[in-house]
């Protein structure tokens, strides 16, 4: 979701840094809300004390931890890796995106 939006911004001619800042700030709320809803759904299972809780509690804990860690990876590590992977790109707003006829 985040990288596809950043890629669409890059195709419109936006530089890497600007596309990452715009993409992360625009997609922050959807990513956080998705993770929050999913992790809060497992909270009752994580604090259960009834029959079968000894099986449910570790499973819920692992799922909640996975959701939190994947959210942090999406919001922090993924943009950094994208920036490192596209460090050599020199597509700026001021530079023409196509070569004019007669110029090499």
**Residues 31 and 2: beta-carbon distance below 8 Å:** yes
In order, the DSSP letters of 15-79 are -HHHHHHHHHHHHHHHHHHHHHHHHHHTHHHHT--STTHHHHHHHHHHHHHHHHHHHHIIIIIHH
Task: Assign residue 13 a region (left: φ > 0; alpha: ψ between -120 and 50; beta: otherwise).
Answer: left
Q: Which CATH superfamily is domain 2-85 in?
A: Multidrug efflux transporter AcrB transmembrane domain (1.20.1640.10)
Predicted confidence at residue 91, as pLDDT, reads 56
Predicted confidence at residue 1, as pLDDT, reads 82
Domains of the chain: which residue ranges? 2-85
Residues in the chain, pLDDT under 50: 93-94, 96, 98-101, 103-104
CA separation, residue 4 to residues 7, 8, 21, 30, 92 (Å): 5, 6, 14, 14, 19
DSSP one-letter code for 100: P
Predicted confidence at residue 104, as pLDDT, reads 46
pLDDT, tens digit, for every residue of 3-29? 999 999 999 999 999 999 999 999 999
Predicted confidence at residue 98, as pLDDT, reads 47
């Amino acid at each position: 979701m985040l990288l596809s939006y950043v890629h669409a911004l890059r195709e419109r001619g936006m530089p890497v840094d600007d596309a990452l800042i715009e993409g992360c700030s625009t997609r922050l709320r959807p990513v956080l809300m998705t993770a929050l809803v999913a992790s809060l759904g497992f909270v009752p299972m994580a604090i259960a004390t009834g029959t079968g809780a000894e099986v449910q509690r570790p499973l819920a804990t692992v799922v909640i931890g996975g959701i939190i860690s994947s959210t942090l990876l999406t919001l922090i590590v993924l943009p950094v890796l994208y920036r490192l992977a596209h460090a050599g790109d020199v597509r700026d707003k001021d530079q023409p995106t196509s070569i004019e006829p007669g110029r090499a």
